[in-house]
Amino acid sequence: MNQSRPKARRSRALGIALTPKDVKYFERRPFPPGVHGRARKKPSDYQVRLLEKQRLKAQYNVSEKQMRKAFDLAHRKAGKTGELMVTLLEVRLDALVLRAGFARTIYQARQMVAHGHIAVDGHKVDIPSYRLQPYQTITVRSKSREKTPFLVAAAGAHVGARTAPYLSVDVAGLKATLLRAPERAEVPVICDEQLVVEFYSR
């Protein structure tokens, strides 16, 4: 079975393409999977908020515990909770590896970090949820640079519309520095974060 299909089904259920491969499946069948996928039943307020939370969670490939932790931390800070929550998720190491163009998907980025291929300020970090601070630098470790996924990345295969203005990226050098905290409008995730806040605040 094509391994992209489970993610394609999830993409259809959430209403967004989670990986580049899923785009064609989602465009061909832009409705939820199952025999009732085309039904036009109006969702409840709870279902609307739950779906939005699931969409944000899926785009960062995080657990429910990690989502709740990001919400709780954002809620304690001054500012808009939803925007702060997205910022906290965006400065995770795996998310920034993706934004820098070192990985094709968030799933690949998480694997790269977990397998010890990534360093922060010269030190190996294998925790995908590691949260970067401004001016910290991500690099691909020297022993990993000759591996095919990184040769592909260094050639610029994953760079394009995803370029993030809050990162300074040397693609060929497999190096990226976080310049500042991302602003919500700059973060390329599809989500109404206020609905997520309402879900957790209920």
Q: What pLDDT sits at residue 80?
A: 96
Helix, strand, or coil (residue 157): coil
Rounded-to-integer distance, Cα 66 and Cα 79, Å: 20
Rounded-to-integer distance, Cα 41 and Cα 45, Å: 13
Which CATH architecture is the domain 5-88+189-201 placed in? Orthogonal Bundle (1.10)
Query: Torsions phi, psi of 115, nearest 5?
Result: -85, 5
Q: Residue for token digits 């922060």?
A: 120
Q: What pLDDT sits at residue 159?
A: 80
Query: Torsions phi, psi of 178, nearest 5?
Result: -75, 115
**Phi-psi sector, 156: left (phi>0), alpha (psi -120 to 50), beta:** left
Which CATH architecture is the domain 92-180 placed in? Roll (3.10)
Q: Is the dihedral of CA 130, 135, 140, 143 positive or negative?
A: negative
Q: What pLDDT sits at residue 3?
A: 45
95 in Cβ contact with 106 (< 8 Å): yes
Low-confidence ranges of the chain (pLDDT < 50): 1-4, 22, 161
On the question of a common fold for 5-88+189-201 and 92-180, the answer reads: no
Domain ranges of the chain: 5-88+189-201, 92-180
| H runs (alpha helix) in 37-144 | 45-60, 64-75, 81-90, 93-99, 106-114
Q: What pLDDT sits at residue 128?
A: 98
pTM tops 0.95, yes or no: no
**pLDDT, tens digit, for every residue of 111-170?**
999 999 999 999 999 999 999 999 999 999 999 999 999 999 999 998 864 569 999 999
Nearest to 91 by CA among 181, 10, 19: 181
Q: What pLDDT sits at residue 127?
A: 98
